[in-house]
Every structure is written in C-alpha cells, then in structure tokens.
Amino acid sequence: MKKISLTGIKPTGTPHLGNYLGAIRPALALSETYETVYFIADYHALTTVHNGLEMHDNIHKVAATWLALGLDPEKGLFYKQSDIPEIFELSWALSCFTPKGFMNRAHAYKDKVAKSLATGEDADSNVNMGLFCYPCLMDADILMFNADIVPVGKDQKQHVEFARDVALRFNKQFGKAIFTVPEAIIQENTDVIPGLDGRKMSKSYDNYIDIFLDSKSLKKKIGKIVTNSQEMDEPKDPEICNVFKLYKLFASQEQSDALAARYRAGGMGWGHAKAELQSVLEEHLGVARDRYFDLIAHPEKIDSILRAGAEKARPIARENMDRIREVLGVGKSY
C-alpha cells in the first residue's frame, strides 16, 4: 500500500505565485507516489478571520485554486476541516496528552507574545485560545488520517514535531500503535522565491503576484519588479535579476538557457525580459486560470466537490475515532 501524504490549506486569502511554487505544486506532485489527503483548514483560519462572508469567500477561492491547478478530488481525499467533527473530538483527547509547555513554545504564540511585549502590552493581550491551542488541532488533523508524511516549509516543521511527540506519548500510554508517527517533508525552496522587490514573496511585504491575474493586471504587476539601471545594449547577468529568477521557476531548461543567452549578449531591455516572464506565466497557468474563474463563477460546483469529499472522509475518521474512543474507555460513538 502507498503511504499517506497530508496537506492542510488555510483559507486566509487568495494564494500567490510563492504559495504555488513553494507549497501547491510540490504537494500536488506527491499524488504520483502517495495516497493524498488535502483539506481546507477553515477552523484554523478562525484564529484571525472573524468575518463570515470573508471566510466563505476565502474557502471558495482556495478550493478553486487547488482544483484548477490539478487537484483531482477522485483520487485520495479533499474535504473541509469543519465537515469532519471527529477531528475536533480528537483534538480534545490529544490536548489531554499535551504538556502546556509545548503550547508555550509554539512559534505563533511566541511571536504574538514578543510583539505585545515590544509595544508595552501584556504578554497575552493579543492571544486568543484558538491561537494558543492551535497545535492540538493541527495534531488531530495529521493523526486522524494516519499521515506518514506532511509536506511543510521550514517554519512549520515544529507542527509536525509536536504531532510526532503526541503520537508517541499516546502509543506508549496504551502499549500499541494507535497512531502513525508522521514525518515532515521540508520544502527547501520556499525561502528563495523572489517577490517584486527581490525579497521573499510574501503578503506581509506586499510584493506578491496573484496566481490568476488577467493578462492586463499581470502585465502591470510584472512591470513593478525591481531591476537595475543598466541600459538596453549592456550585457546583463541573469542570475542576479529578479525577473529571470522568477522566469526559470516556470520555464523549461531550454527556455531558461535561451533567455540567459539573450541577457549575456546585450541588446535586451528590462521590458523585453518582463514580457518573456509574462509569456511563460501565461503558458504555464493560462488553462488553470480559465478553470479557476469557471469554478468561482459556479460556487455550487465547489460546494458539491467538498461535500463529496466529506462523505468519503467521514467514514474513515469515524472508524479511527471509534478505535481511539475504545482505548480511552469512553466507548464507541452512536
């Protein structure tokens, strides 16, 4: 049997090219060698998103993005976290095996505390319990479906480490392998995807390019990529150019080699380079963009896919939760 890969997708806004290259594309590629579980982590997003209409819109945008880019809901599982109540029951059970010290060391919590202290506020003034208990719910997400691997960026490795520790504690307590102990698969390239200003592409820096911009908007965004003051006739080094760095992440090796040669030969201005970037993005994402806007225009299609995914996932979750309830001594659910 294939091992299981699990990926959580937090609906906190429209994904950008950095998300696609660093998380979506590699996670979708795992479907070739793993049984895949993809879920929309809407309850995780509640720690920051407190507007119902915004949440509903974000769920549709994120689901449409993954579906448009190649997620096949007929293979593996694709569901909305809130549609699987067993996950929340498991979260409570796992919290009873989780030392509070774990929660104190969680990166998101520590960052909030540090920011509060830096502005002279009480350490916990900006911390809600959802944020504090976030790791317990994430542990439940991972352990409920016995994921063998969880692809994450370097900054999220801690979540998988917590899940591993809790799984080992639980298994040791009851003397048998109740949970699969997961491994983190680190996406090493998530730190090197350049934004418009050359820094890591991030919404925090407002230097990102949305995945599915129309041609006119895409051209405008690409036009904002920072370049140097070299004249058109001057030879240029492609490896230090933000435009080329993005280009080669989408282009074939042959395309990259050809454009690099034009850089070094001189006679090519930055406008030409940016036009080449737009061309390769249109080539790579144009069909997916059409699928995305079709899904957004027909949200009932998205809802139907997520309902079908929940219907596939719930029996698995219920069976696993019944085993867990039994070892806990609380009996099976009715």
pLDDT in tens, 89-103: 999 999 999 989 888
Helices (H), the chain: 17-19, 25-29, 42-45, 52-68, 85-95, 100-105, 107-118, 129-132, 134-144, 157-174, 215-222, 242-250, 253-265, 270-297, 299-328
> Could you report the per-residue pLDDT of 53-67, keeping only the tens digit for each?
999 999 999 999 999
Q: Is the pLDDT of residue 10 over 70?
A: yes
Helices (H), 69-128: 85-95, 100-105, 107-118
> To the nearest whole percent, how much of the chain has pLDDT over 70?
98
Q: Is the pLDDT of residue 187 over 70?
A: no
Average pLDDT over residues 261-287: 95
pLDDT at 3 (0 to 100) = 96
CATH code for the part of the protein at 212-292:
1.10.240.10
At 333 the pLDDT is: 65
- Residue 159: per-residue pLDDT: 84
Residue 298 in contact with residue 271, Cβ under 8 Å? no
Taking residues 116-126, what's their average pLDDT?
Answer: 87
Mean pLDDT for the stretch of residues 94-117: 87
Q: Please check whether residue 62 is in contact with residue 295, taking contact to mean a CB–CB distance below 8 angstroms.
A: no
Least confident of 82-91, 200-209, 288-297: 200-209
Q: What pLDDT is recorded for position 136?
A: 94
Q: Highest-confidence range of 96-105, 186-195, 219-228, by mean pLDDT?
A: 219-228
The answer on pLDDT for 108 being more than 80 is yes
Q: pLDDT class for 191, splitting at 50, 70, 90?
A: low
Strand arrangement, sheet containing 149-152: 77-80, 35-40, 4-9, 149-152, 183-186
Active site residues: 112, 200, 203
The hierarchical CATH code for the domain 4-193+299-328 is 3.40.50.620
Instruction: Tell whether pTM > 0.85.
Output: yes
Average pLDDT for 30-36: 94
Domain residue ranges in the chain: 4-193+299-328, 212-292
Higher-pLDDT residue of 17, 158: 17
pLDDT at 203: 86
Q: What's the whole-number average pLDDT of the chain?
A: 92
Tell me the sheet residues that pair with 84: none
Residue 114 pLDDT class (50, 70, 90 cuts): confident
Q: What is the pLDDT of residues 131-166, one digit of tens each?
A: 888 999 999 999 999 999 999 877 778 889 999 999
Closest alpha carbon to 72 in 22, 11, 10, 30: 30
Residue 202 has pLDDT above 90, yes or no: no
